[in-house]
Amino acid sequence: DIQMTQSPSSLSASVGDRVTLTCRASQSIGTWLAWYQQKPGKAPVLLIYKASTLQSGVSSRFSGSGSGTEFTLTINNLQPDDFATYYCQQFSSYSPYTFGQGTKVDIK
């Protein structure tokens, strides 16, 4: 299995901050990576796919980058609605598809 490791596991930030979340793959996955946002009691919601393509309807304050084994999700001008947990997922191989353990972004 391809292991996905996210860092940090949690971070505290203020409204208006820029935050960067990292996701590392145990082997190269090209740009076959997605990012999801999950709020308590809700299902994950797709933010970005193919490492850097913004899902329709998602704020342009979110951006993704990276390839191979290292990826980042950046949130500019953090808003109250952005406080949530973020997960990365690799889809290079469906044997099996795997997720990172998540990064929780909370209010400082």
Partner 1 sequence: QVQLQESGPGLVKPSETLSLMCAVSGGSISTSYWSWIRQSPGKGLEWLGRVYISGTHDYNPALKDRVTMSVSMSKNEVSLRLTSVTAADTAVYYCARDSGDYGDFVNNWFDPWGQGTLVIVSS
Residues in contact with partner 1 by the rule CB under 8 A: 32, 34, 36, 42-46, 49, 55, 87, 89, 91-92, 94-102
**Smallest separation (angstroms) from partner 1 to the CB of 106:** 17
**Smallest separation (angstroms) from partner 1 to the CB of 59:** 16
Question: Length of the chain in residues, anyone?
Answer: 108
Task: Report CA dihedral (91, 92, 93, 96) to the nearest 10 degrees.
Answer: -30
Question: Six-digit token pair at 86?
Answer: 């973020």
* Nearest residue (CB) to partner 1, 73 versus 78: 73
**Can you tell me the distance from the alpha carbon of 26 to that of 1, in angstroms, rounded to the nearest whole number?**
9
**Smallest separation (angstroms) from partner 1 to the CB of 53:** 10
